[in-house]
Amino acid sequence: MSPLSQLREKMREAEVPALLVSDPTNVGWLTGFSGSYGRVVVTPDRAVFVTDSRYTIQAGEEVREMPVASFSNPKDGDEFLAEQAKELGVTTLGFDASTVTYAWFEKLRDKFAGVELTPAKDLFASLRMVKSEGEIDKVRQACGVAGAAWEHIQRMVQPGVTEYDLMLDLEFYIRRQGAGVAFDTIVVSGERSARPHGKPSEKKLEVGDFVTFDFGATIDGYHSDITRTVVVGEASERHREIYRRVLTAQLAALDAMKPGVEAREIDRIARESLGDLAPHFGHGLGHGLGKVVHDVGRLSPTSEEVLAPGQIWTVEPGVYLEGFGGVRIEDDVLITTDGIEILTKSPKDLLVLPRK
Ligand code: GLY
Ligand code: MN
Ligand code: MN
C-alpha cells in the first residue's frame, strides 16, 4: 500500500475528514518530496501538494501521487494553501498540533475563514515506524557508507591528530561517496569523551585517551547512526573493563530484541547488565532511525512501543565517567520476523590504535 493509501486508512479510523500535512519529515515520507517547503492537503479521494516557485520543477519530478500546485511572490503561501483546500471541497481540516505553532495557527485561521481547523492526533508515527523494503534498503546503504568511513578513518587515529581533523576527514569521506552527513559528527577524546554529545575540538589525541566517534551517512534522505570507541596507544585495565561492560550490555540488549518485546524491556536489560555503572548511563538506549536520525520510537524506560518487524532501532549504551572518559557503542538494527539483523557491520572488539 502506498503511503497515501496508508494515511487515508488512518484518517478513516480516526474520523479525520481532511488533513493538512506540514511536518517536513511527514511530507517527505508521504510524497517523496525532498525540499524544505511543502504542504499536503489530503481528503478521502483527493490530495494536493503545495509548494513555492523555488521547488516547482523539483516537486514535478518527485511528487508522483497527487497534483502539484505552486505559488510565487507576491502571493501569500497560506492564502494559496487555503484556496487549494477549498477547491478540494474541504470544510473541516485537521492540522498537526505539534508542528503548527500558535502564531501560524492564528494566520491559518484568518486565511481559512469558513473552514473549521481542528488539531488532529499524530497519524504518522505508527506508519513511519515500520519501514518499507525501499526504506530499509536506503538505511542499509547508509550503514554501508558509514562502515566504509569508519574503516577509512582508523589510519588517522594517532597521537597528535586533533578531534576536529578527524571529524573533517570522516565527513569528507562520507560526502565523497555521494552520501550526506547524517548529523554533526561527534569526535571526543580523553576526558572529553565523557560528554555524550560533545563537539569535536582542537584537542590533540594523547596516548591513553578513549576516543568516541559518533557519525552517520544519508542515502536518499535515509540515515545511519553508528558509534565506535577506541583507545589511543595503550589500553589500561580500566579502559578494558569499562569497554567490556558497555559491550556486554549492548550484546545483552541485542540478544533480547525480537518482535513482540517491549522497547522499555530492552532498555531495562542494558541498564541491568551495566549494574553499578548504570548511574553513568544517563540517556536512553536507542531510538528509531529512518528519514530523520531520531525517528519515531524510543528504547527508553518510559517507552510505550513494542518491537515489530520492519522497525529500525539504534542500540547505543554508554558509560561516561567525568574526569576520565566515556565509552559508547552504537549499532543500527532491523527487526525481522523472528529476531534482528544488525545493519552496521563494523567490528566491536576493543581497538587500540594505531595498530602495532
Ligand atoms: N548521534 C546521535 C545519537 O546517537 O543519537
Ligand atoms: Mn549516534
Ligand atoms: Mn543514535
As residues whose CB is below 5 A from the ion ligand 3, the structure lists 225, 314
Ligand 1 mean position to 274 CA, how many Å? 20
Ligand 2 mean position to 213 CA, how many Å? 8
70 vs 67, 76, 78, 79, 265, CA distance in Å?
10, 11, 12, 12, 47
Question: Whose C-alpha lies nearest to ligand 1, atom 5?
Answer: 294
- Which ligand number lies closest to the CA of residue 289? 3
Grid coordinates representing 344 are: 552496521
Nearest alpha-carbon partner for 216 in 207, 225, 205, 229: 225
Ligand 1, residues 171, 181, 193, 197: which to mutate, most atoms within 8 A of Cβ? 197
The whole-angstrom separation of Cα 354 and Cα 356 is: 6
Grid coordinates representing 85 are: 483546500
* DSSP code of residue 68: E
Ligand 1 mean position to 137 CA, how many Å? 21
Is the separation of the CB atoms in 243 and 317 below 8 Å? no
Q: What is the pLDDT, as a whole number, of residue 356?
A: 83
Task: Specify the ligand 1 atom closest to the Cα of 283.
Answer: 5
Ligand 2 mean position to 227 CA, how many Å? 6
Is the separation of the CB atoms in 216 and 289 below 8 Å? no
Question: Whose C-alpha lies nearest to ligand 1, atom 3?
Answer: 225
pLDDT profile of the chain (356 residues), mean per 10? 97 97 97 97 98 98 98 98 98 95 97 97 96 98 98 98 98 98 98 98 98 98 98 98 99 98 98 98 98 98 98 99 98 98 98 94
Residues in the ligand 1 pocket, defined by CB under 6 Å: 183, 214, 225, 316, 330
Ligand 1 mean position to 2 CA, how many Å? 30
Query: Residue 102 — φ and ψ, nearest 5°?
Result: -65, -40
Q: What is the pLDDT, as a whole number, of residue 71?
A: 98
Ligand 2 mean position to 101 CA, how many Å? 29
* DSSP code of residue 155: G
Ligand 1 mean position to 302 CA, how many Å? 18
Query: Residue 352 — φ and ψ, nearest 5°?
Result: -110, 120
Ligand 3 mean position to 67 CA, how many Å? 36
Ligand 1, residues 143, 188, 267, 316: which to mutate, most atoms within 8 A of Cβ? 316
Task: Specify the ligand 1 atom closest to the Cα of 182.
Answer: 1
Ligand 2 mean position to 45 CA, how many Å? 41
Place of cell 549494574: 275
Task: Specify the ligand 1 atom closest to the Cα of 186.
Answer: 1
For 344, half-sphere exposure in the C-beta direction (CA atoms, 13 angstrom radius) is 30
> Where are any strands of DSSP class E within 263-354?
286-288, 295-299, 312-315, 318-321, 325-328, 331-335, 340-342, 351-353
User: Which strands make up the sheet holding 39-42, listed edge to edge?
Assistant: 68-71, 47-52, 39-42, 19-21, 92-96, 116-120
Nearest alpha-carbon partner for 81 in 143, 1, 21: 21
Task: Specify the ligand 1 atom closest to the Cα of 227.
Answer: 4
Is the separation of the CB atoms in 348 and 145 below 8 Å? no
Question: Whose C-alpha lies nearest to ligand 1, atom 1?
Answer: 214
The whole-angstrom separation of Cα 186 and Cα 201 is: 10
Radius of gyration, CA atoms only, the chain: 23
The whole-angstrom separation of Cα 96 and Cα 239 is: 47
Ligand 1, residues 225, 332, 344: which to mutate, most atoms within 8 A of Cβ? 225
